[in-house]
């Protein structure tokens, strides 16, 4: 596995692959890798000839009061795990490589960045779009793979690819969970033992809401009870039941439902979602 810290060294490798007509998949990460990330890499191996994993903690998607300075970094162990997954290259750039002084990016995500996570994190999705576009520009992949835990982020990236006609196939992998149902996340490392036990109530409450909806309970009542139940254990950011294909209000034409939640437990923000057919 090639470990590249500069664009030049990575692109030398990419040029060789392109000349050999290999298809290339990109898996963008911020490091602190866990089984959820590694599942994306394994999926990428099944979808393309060569897989590049980027490890870059992107300052553009953090606000001043967020955890950029304390975000879990485990670069050495990340490299070991990526080798085990047979990644072909890992790109570990610094900010000068990602955001050179003469580089600019003026794409704005738009309305989708102002709902759900965008209400309390208005900076976030433009920051995500910025770094993902830059990685696409550097790697020029045929395929890019993201996890479904960041459900709204998937919408943002797909929209950007369509808006800018980038011609990259965006694929997603289902959420990988711990045995007790907690969605795997790098930020789970922030949870103390008591919080870790409480955290499983997030997925439990969502699954309860799903069962209520499918049993015929009115959606407004389902949502009200979901929010009440979450508020017993968490500080609620949002809990919404939406059309999973639009992130908008459910209509008669809706075929797939999404329950999307963000909560705070102690100092840790947790997001999760489930989707199902009505």
User: Which residues have a catalytic role annotated?
Assistant: 37
Q: How far apart are CA 59 and CA 230, in angstroms?
A: 30
Q: How far apart are CA 210 and CA 216, in angstroms?
A: 10
Q: How far apart are CA 100 and CA 9, in angstroms?
A: 17
- Say if strands 89-91 and 50-55 run parallel, antiparallel, or are unpaired: parallel
Q: Which run of H or of E encompasses 97?
A: helix 95-98
Query: 133-142 burial string, b = 16+ CB within 10 Å, else e?
Result: bbbbebbebb
| DSSP helix, strand, coil percent of the chain (3-state; round to 5) | 45, 20, 35
Q: How far apart are CA 188 and CA 146, in angstroms?
A: 19
Question: Can you tell me whether residue 3 is helix, strand or coil?
Answer: strand
């Amino acid at each position: 596995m090639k470990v590249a810290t500069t664009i030049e060294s990575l692109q030398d490798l990419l040029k060789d692959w392109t000349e050999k007509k290999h298809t290339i998949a990109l898996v963008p990460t911020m490091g602190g890798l866990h089984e959820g990330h590694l599942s994306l890499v394994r999926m990428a191996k099944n979808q393309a000839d060569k897989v590049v994993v980027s490890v870059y903690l992107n300052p553009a998607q953090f606000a001043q009061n967020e955890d950029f300075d304390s975000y879990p970094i485990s670069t050495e162990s990340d490299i070991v795990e990526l080798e085990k997954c047979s990644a072909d290259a890992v790109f570990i750039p610094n900010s000068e490589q990602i955001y050179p002084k003469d580089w600019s990016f003026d794409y704005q995500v738009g309305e989708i960045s102002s709902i759900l996570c965008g209400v309390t994190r208005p900076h976030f999705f433009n920051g995500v779009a910025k770094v993902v576009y830059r990685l696409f520009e550097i790697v020029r992949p045929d395929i890019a793979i993201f996890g479904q835990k960041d459900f709204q982020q998937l919408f943002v990236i797909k929209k950007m690819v369509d808006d800018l006609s980038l011609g990259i196939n965006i694929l997603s992998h289902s959420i990988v969970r711990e045995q007790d149902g907690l969605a795997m996340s790098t930020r789970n490392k922030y949870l103390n033992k008591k919080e870790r036990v409480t955290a499983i109530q997030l997925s439990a409450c969502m699954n309860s809401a799903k069962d209520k909806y499918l049993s015929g309970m009115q959606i407004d009542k389902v949502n009200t009870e979901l929010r009440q139940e979450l508020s017993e254990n968490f500080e609620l950011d949002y809990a919404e039941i939406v059309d999973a294909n639009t992130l908008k209000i459910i209509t008669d034409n809706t075929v797939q439902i999404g329950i999307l939640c963000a909560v705070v437990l102690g100092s840790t923000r947790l997001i999760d979602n489930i989707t199902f057919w009505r």
